[in-house]
Amino acid sequence: MWGRNVYDSISKFLQFQLTVNIVAVIVAFTGACITQDSPLKAVQMLWVNLIMDTFASLALATEPPTEALLLRKPYGRNKPLISRTMMKNILGHAVYQLTLIFTLLFVGEELPPPRCSARQ
Asked whether the predicted pLDDT for residue 50 surpasses 90, the reply is no
- Cα 102–chain centre separation: 16
**Single pTM value for the model:** 0.75
The closest of 32, 30, 42, 27 to 98, measured between CA atoms, is 27
pLDDT in tens, 60-111: 777 778 888 777 887 878 888 888 999 999 999 999 999 998 898 888 878 8
Average pLDDT of span 24-39: 83
Name the DSSP class of 119: -
The closest of 80, 19, 82 to 55, measured between CA atoms, is 19
Question: Distance (Å, rounded) from C-alpha 116 to C-alpha 107?
Answer: 21
Question: Distance (Å, rounded) from C-alpha 100 to C-alpha 32?
Answer: 17
Q: Are 81 and 14 in contact (CB under 8 A)?
A: yes
Asked whether the predicted pLDDT for residue 118 surpasses 70, the reply is no
Q: Are 9 and 68 in contact (CB under 8 A)?
A: no
pLDDT confidence tier of residue 24, bands split at 50, 70 and 90: confident
Q: What totals of helices (H) and strands (E) does the chain contain, helices first?
A: 3, 0
Question: Distance (Å, rounded) from C-alpha 22 to C-alpha 66?
Answer: 32
